[in-house]
Chains A and B, each alone.
Chain A
Amino acid sequence: MSWDILREGLRLGAKVSLAAIPYSLVYTQLRMFNFAFGEVITFAGYVLYVLTRAKHWPIWAALPVALLLSAALGALIERVAYRRLMETRDRHLLLVSSIGVSIVLQNLYQAVFGSRTMYLDRPETPWFAVACVLALEVTGLLVLLQRTSFGNRMAAIASNRELSQLLGINPTVVYASVFMIASALAVPAAFFEMSDNGIAPDMGFQIGMLAFAAAVLAGMHSILWTLAASFVLGVVVVVAQVGSFLNDRLIWVACVVFAILLAGLRRTLERRKRVSRGEDRGVWNPL
């Protein structure tokens, strides 16, 4: 494997991780798969497109606006499609609701913008810019989660919601904030993906599938694991194009299957540990 190929793989990995980290953030804090996140990425992309191409804004002015609008969309989705369901114990309902949001938004984009791919027509983004944004994002999130009172409140709710409520933490506010942060992070993901491949109604869905695979490969565990898994996945996809043994599509399927197996294995091991410590009475909970 040569340096050129590795570099292409890392480049793809960086793009995937930008999409996978917000995914993972929502899962680790809220224990839900937010399938609609890909559509938030697409939304951020269309905002950037409209502002820079149709309104001729400079990109540095368009980016903050896109951040705000994406966060607003995240809050809106949370309010309309998730908040009522958060009360229930069954996380499957949230999963189904997020798939619904994803379908509605994808069709909406198609109706408004058409199915044709559109391009930003900017000079290409140097890959160290992607690396810088990624480093900034990861550091920012780690600080937020581990060093701030907001992070503590999130952790408290994730570990025991009822008890945290008794302590005066308002879970609704925390959940909405998590969605807004994750949705704002759709902007860098959208920006780098569309400066390579343009924007189409399914852009977010496509990169979201890879991001989902990466997040699952990381065992839906932590942000750093997700980062590592994204790079592994990126390199695997690119190397698979080089080798003649598998075509691109097969390797994706193989990755997803492999990842699910790996995640399942981790989960089983963790649960066996918990059962042996007497913390788990053996009721199977798939999510």
Chain B
Amino acid sequence: METALDQVNQSGITFKDGAGITHHYKLSIQYENSYGGPNNTLNAPDQMEKLIAAGVPAVLGEHFSGVTLALAPIANARHRVLLTPCSTNYKLRNAGPWVFRILPTDYDQSVQMARYGKNELKASRAAVLNIENAYGRDLAKTFVDTFTRDGGTIVYSHQFAEGQREFGGFVTQLLKSNAQFLFLVGHTQEMADLLRAKARIERSLGRPRLPVLGTDGMYDDSFLEQAGEAAEGIVLASAGFNPQSSDPVVRKFVSAFQTKFAKTPNLWSAGGYDAVHVLAEAIRHGGPKPEAIRESLFTVRGFAGATGTNTIDKTGGTEGKPVYVFVIRGGKFIQLG
């Protein structure tokens, strides 16, 4: 977000109002820590009220879908734009007229992976393990629905808790279940621990590695670091941001980010970058009043960003942004197809 803010404020935002008067604006971001967790929505509403009291027209957030969903009613009631850079839950499609998304919903990721299991792995028996929260439940449900509709069966399905560290029982049972692959949804830490336990038990049983399919929760360098060798060969679907891409918008973002923070940005940084630019674009079009921003957001069409082309549709989401499939090889994400 800071990277985008620097770029926007270099020239400022110029807006010509109805009377033909030209206004110049500079954006500033007030950060509040919602202490949000996937299931922790306790703090965020207070922080949002604090921001509204401070007079902000738009709130960029939250990271976790569960928290964004909890903030949506406040945005709608208090008439403030809520633009989430990272949340992907498909319930956000119907979260109200003031809620906007940068990334496509995760619905497509599950569908992609169910198809991948059926067509590429030629599998008819799948196992599902998901984290016990809105993100995990909804992705798992979509996967199960798609996979069974296409004629597959789910032979093993379980949820694990956030912060859980021991997975020996789950993995042992999973390996007995005769599944041809595992669909795994969660956050990096729990998934890494689970995969490490899985690799260990597979080795001790002398079994070949059971293929794993996953979602954007894995699309993070910290996951590669945490899961290490146990992540090798995993195939996952994620909304697109490829820091290696030769796209000029992506290159501009990546080099600015690297200059500022001395590391490579991930999908979530890219979402934040696009959110700030899209917001600036809306202000450029209709001025900085909340209602005006809301209306102009719907007019954003074909705006090139780091996560693809931003065209806001009727549900407040970005239309037609592709979902990519990656495989983890040699400790790196490699885009397939």
* Chain A residues with a Cβ under 8 A of chain B: 2, 4-5, 8-9, 11-12, 116-117, 119, 121, 124, 196-198, 200, 206, 237-242, 244, 247-249
Contacts and interface: CB of A to CB of B under 8 A. Distances in A.
B163 to A, nearest CB: 8
A116 B187 CA distance: 13
A247 B159 contact: yes
B173 A237 contact: no
Contacts of A237: 166, 169
Contacts of B168: 8-9, 11-12, 238, 241
Contacts of B205: 4
Contacts of B173: 5, 241-242
B172 to A, nearest CB: 5
A121 B197 CA distance: 14
Contact of B172 (A121, A124, A242, A244): A242
B226 A119 contact: yes
Nearest to B159: A247
Nearest to B226: A117
Contacts of A242: 169-170, 172-173
A121 B165 CA distance: 17
22 contacts: A2-B172, A4-B201, A5-B169, A5-B172, A5-B173, A8-B168, A9-B168, A9-B169, A12-B166, A117-B192, A119-B226, A121-B228, A196-B197, A197-B196, A206-B163, A241-B167, A241-B170, A242-B172, A242-B173, A247-B160, A247-B161, A249-B161
Secondary structure type dominating chain A contacts? helix
Given A117-B189, A119-B226, A238-B168, A247 B132 contact: yes
Interface string B314-335: 0000000000000000000000
A40 to B, nearest CB: 18
A101 to B, nearest CB: 22
| Nearest 10 Cβ contacts at the A-B interface | A241-B169, A8-B168, A238-B169, A249-B161, A242-B169, A242-B173, A4-B172, A241-B170, A197-B165, A5-B172
Interface of B: 132, 158-161, 163-170, 172-173, 176, 189, 192-193, 196-197, 200-201, 203, 205, 222, 226, 228
B201 A248 contact: no
B228 to A, nearest CB: 7
Contacts of A121: 228
A76 B161 CA distance: 36
Contacts, number: 71
Contacts of B200: 124, 196
Given A196-B197, A238-B168, A240-B169, A248 B192 contact: no
A56 to B, nearest CB: 18
B179 to A, nearest CB: 15
B193 A248 contact: no
Given A4-B205, A117-B226, A238 B166 contact: yes
Contacts of A119: 226, 228
Contacts of B165: 197, 206
Residue in B160, B169, B200, B222 with the greatest tally of chain A CB atoms within 10 Å: B169
Contacts of B172: 2, 4-5, 8, 238, 242
A248 B160 contact: yes
Nearest to B168: A8
Contact of A8 (B132, B164, B201): B201
A222 to B, nearest CB: 26
Contacts of A8: 168-169, 172, 201
A124 B164 CA distance: 20
Residue in A116, A121, A241 with the greatest tally of chain B CB atoms within 10 Å: A241
Given A198-B226, A242-B172, A248-B164, 20 more contacts: A2-B172, A4-B201, A5-B172, A8-B168, A12-B168, A117-B226, A119-B228, A124-B200, A197-B165, A198-B193, A206-B163, A206-B165, A237-B169, A238-B168, A241-B166, A242-B169, A242-B170, A247-B159, A248-B160, A248-B161
Given A5-B173, A11-B168, A237-B166, A244 B197 contact: no
Contacts of A247: 132, 159-161
A249 B200 CA distance: 23
Residue in A8, A11, A200, A240 with the greatest tally of chain B CB atoms within 10 Å: A8
B128 to A, nearest CB: 13
B158 A244 contact: yes
A145 to B, nearest CB: 30
A283 B168 CA distance: 46
A241 B164 CA distance: 11
A122 to B, nearest CB: 11
A56 B161 CA distance: 35
Contacts of B166: 12, 197, 237-238, 241, 248
Contacts of B132: 247
A259 to B, nearest CB: 18
A244 B196 CA distance: 23
Contacts of B176: 2, 4
Nearest to B169: A241
A62 to B, nearest CB: 20
Contacts of A11: 168
A117 B201 CA distance: 21
A210 to B, nearest CB: 9
Contacts of B192: 117, 198
A5 B167 CA distance: 11
A11 B163 CA distance: 20
A239 B228 contact: no
Nearest to B199: A124
